[in-house]
């Protein structure tokens, strides 16, 4: 991708990225000196749309801890443009209507500079239009394809976590080559699950396979036994991606139904996020495969960036809280909050952001980004950002449960997740 300069900010792609690595030296400054060059002592306010309650509560709790850790480090290194970073938290209840209300509060009551952090795709879809109307930069950490599809607006960006279309496209070759080609899919019956349904179906067909059944589960379901008899006998692989508080019940009931004679199983770790894999009833998962956005267990070749990130967020080598081994993190997703905050920091510094009047310049500075190197700021792996689609691309991890531990079997390349652009947000008006 070529270097270009935005007229409003004079920001190059390379310049937008340099700020990602510039903060480390500032940590040696005494506290009084770190904000000395700022034109104002007013904080940069980031409105954190948190799933504190509702079906996303486990994610919300860990998204919050990750955000706090990253914000602390940013402030210790001098803040953003010499100003302290303040996280303003509002609970959206994992509800689309409340999500839009939260976005409005950020813009009109809390005087936030940006909105940030939303995970569940139906909440993003319900909130992003209001962010666009209010001209509030809205940085989501969701995985849904709604951003890159062009369904939203120029103020909505997903620069810290990959989307489902990229994930499944990168992994389908492994599934087809190693597990089987006749697949039954089990997924939640809303936008995120529909992304899986549509994009994995296309991806496995491109590998000569087929989806023989698609089982959509209502997000409020608490028991799943009635769905398993619908799985066709010809199924070679069960593909499951479930979310919410009933995920442990789902996995246990699947094990009870199949017993030892099961097909191959490929799951998204969403089905076990915040769940201890050693929980009674999950023994049948031994030998099954999972997608992981970031490996929950520290691997033998652990990078120094993974080690640093775990230490700062307070997570052990098994992906649980350092203070409570039973408090298992949402490790495969929450890195997106950390990385997105650092993108916001880099964008604001590249744009010379001073206040709401510079929101357009901030979006343009982020659009100018491309390569994001593997680093403390991007501990999940190196990434490439597509400014036209407002979507980041990165590696995917396929792990196998062996001896009660998730061990990475295959890491996809960034390029395997690329797909043709479906939108060019840079041509949209602000």
Model confidence at 35, pLDDT cuts 50, 70, 90, reads low
What average pLDDT does the chain have?
91
Kindly report, residue by residue over 229-245, the tens digit of the pLDDT: 999 999 999 999 988 77
Q: Is the pLDDT of residue 99 over 80?
A: yes
Model confidence at 246, pLDDT cuts 50, 70, 90, reads confident
- The vertex-153 CA angle with 18 and 158, nearest 5°, equals 40
* Domain boundaries, given as residue ranges, for the chain: 13-161+331-394, 163-292+395-430
Kindly report, residue by residue over 56-71, the tens digit of the pLDDT: 999 999 999 999 999 9
pLDDT value, residue 32: 43
Model confidence at 10, pLDDT cuts 50, 70, 90, reads very low
Kindly report, residue by residue over 302-340, the tens digit of the pLDDT: 999 999 999 999 999 999 999 999 999 999 999 999 999
pLDDT value, residue 92: 97
Give the H/E segment covering residue 88. strand 85-91
Q: Name the pTM for this structure.
A: 0.89
The Cα–Cα gap between 137 and 360 comes to: 8
pLDDT value, residue 37: 54
Q: Which of 15-29, 270-284, 404-418 has the highest mean pLDDT?
A: 404-418
* Identical fold, 13-161+331-394 and 163-292+395-430: yes
Calculate mean pLDDT across residues 198-212. 97
Burial class (CB in 10 A: 0-12, 13-18, 19+), 324: exposed
Could you tell me what percent of the chain has a pLDDT over 70?
91
Q: Is the pLDDT of residue 24 over 70?
A: no
The Cα–Cα gap between 102 and 88 comes to: 11
pLDDT value, residue 26: 43
For residue 282, what are the contacts with CB-CB under 8 A and spacing of at least 6? 248, 251, 252, 255, 272, 275
Burial class (CB in 10 A: 0-12, 13-18, 19+), 6: buried
Q: Is the pLDDT of residue 135 over 80?
A: yes
Give the H/E segment covering residue 240. strand 237-240
Distances (CA, A) of 7 to 4, 12, 359: 10, 10, 14
Kindly report, residue by residue over 161-196, the tens digit of the pLDDT: 999 999 999 999 999 999 999 999 999 998 889 999
**pLDDT higher at 17 or 240:** 240
CB atoms within 10 A of CB 376: 20
Q: Is the pLDDT of residue 6 over 50?
A: no
CATH code at 163-292+395-430: 3.40.50.2300
Model confidence at 3, pLDDT cuts 50, 70, 90, reads very low
Calculate mean pLDDT across residues 274-293. 92
pLDDT value, residue 248: 86
Q: Hey, which residues does 372 pair with through a beta bridge?
A: 383
CB atoms within 10 A of CB 314: 17
Give the H/E segment covering residue 127. helix 121-134
For the chain, the helix, strand and coil percentages under 3-state DSSP, each to the nearest 5: 40, 20, 40
Model confidence at 34, pLDDT cuts 50, 70, 90, reads low
Check the CA dihedral 208-173-292-383 and report its sign: negative
Q: Is the pLDDT of residue 13 over 50?
A: no
The architecture CATH gives domain 13-161+331-394: 3-Layer(aba) Sandwich (3.40)
**pLDDT higher at 18 or 167:** 167
Kindly report, residue by residue over 387-416, the tens digit of the pLDDT: 999 999 999 999 999 999 999 999 999 999
Q: Is the pLDDT of residue 428 over 90?
A: yes
Check the CA dihedral 105-110-114-118 and report its sign: negative
* 235 dihedral zone (left: phi>0; alpha: psi -120 to 50; beta): beta
pLDDT value, residue 333: 97
pLDDT value, residue 180: 97
Would you give the end-to-end CA distance of the chain in angstroms? 24
């Amino acid at each position: 991708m070529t270097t270009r300069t935005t007229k409003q900010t004079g920001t190059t792609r390379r310049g937008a990225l340099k700020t990602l690595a510039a903060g480390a030296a500032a940590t040696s400054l005494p506290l009084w000196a770190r904000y000395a060059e700022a034109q104002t002592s007013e904080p940069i306010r980031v409105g954190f749309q948190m799933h504190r309650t509702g079906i996303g509560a486990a994610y919300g709790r860990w998204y919050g801890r990750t955000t706090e850790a990253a914000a602390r480090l940013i402030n210790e290194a001098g803040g953003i443009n010499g100003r302290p970073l303040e996280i303003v938290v509002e609970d959206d209840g994992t509800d689309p209507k409340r999500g839009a209300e939260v976005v409005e509060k950020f813009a009109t009551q809390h005087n936030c500079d940006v909105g940030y952090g939303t995970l569940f795709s139906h909440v993003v879809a319900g909130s992003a239009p209001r962010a666009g109307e209010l001209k509030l930069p809205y940085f989501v950490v969701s995985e849904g394809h709604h951003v890159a599809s062009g369904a939203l607006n120029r103020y909505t960006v997903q620069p810290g976590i990959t989307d489902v279309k990229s994930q499944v496209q990168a992994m389908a070759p492994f599934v087809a080559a190693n597990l089987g080609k006749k697949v039954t899919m089990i997924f939640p019956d809303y936008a995120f699950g529909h992304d899986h349904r549509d994009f994995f179906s296309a991806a496995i067909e491109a590998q000569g396979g087929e989806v023989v059944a698609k089982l959509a589960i209502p997000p409020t379901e608490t028991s799943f036994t009635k769905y398993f008899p619908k799985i066709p006998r010809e199924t070679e692989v069960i593909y499951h991606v479930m979310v919410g508080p009933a995920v442990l019940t789902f996995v246990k009931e699947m094990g009870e139904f199949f017993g030892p004679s099961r097909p191959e199983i490929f799951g998204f770790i969403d089905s076990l996020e915040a769940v201890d894999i050693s929980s009674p009833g999950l023994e049948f998962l031994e030998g099954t495969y999972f997608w992981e956005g970031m490996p929950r267990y520290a691997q033998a070749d652990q990078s120094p960036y993974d080690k640093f990130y775990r230490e700062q967020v307070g997570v052990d080598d098994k992906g649980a809280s350092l203070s409570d081994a039973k408090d298992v993190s949402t490790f495969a997703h929450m890195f997106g909050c950390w990385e997105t905050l650092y993108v916001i920091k880099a964008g604001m510094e590249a744009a010379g952001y001073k206040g709401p009047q510079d929101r357009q310049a901030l979006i343009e500075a982020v659009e100018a980004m491309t390569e994001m190197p593997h680093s403390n700021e991007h501990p999940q792996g190196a990434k490439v950002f597509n400014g036209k689609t407002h979507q980041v691309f990165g590696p995917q991890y396929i792990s196998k449960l062996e001896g009660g531990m998730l061990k990475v079997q295959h890491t996809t390349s960034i390029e395997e997740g690329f797909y043709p652009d479906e939108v060019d947000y840079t041509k949209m008006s602000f």
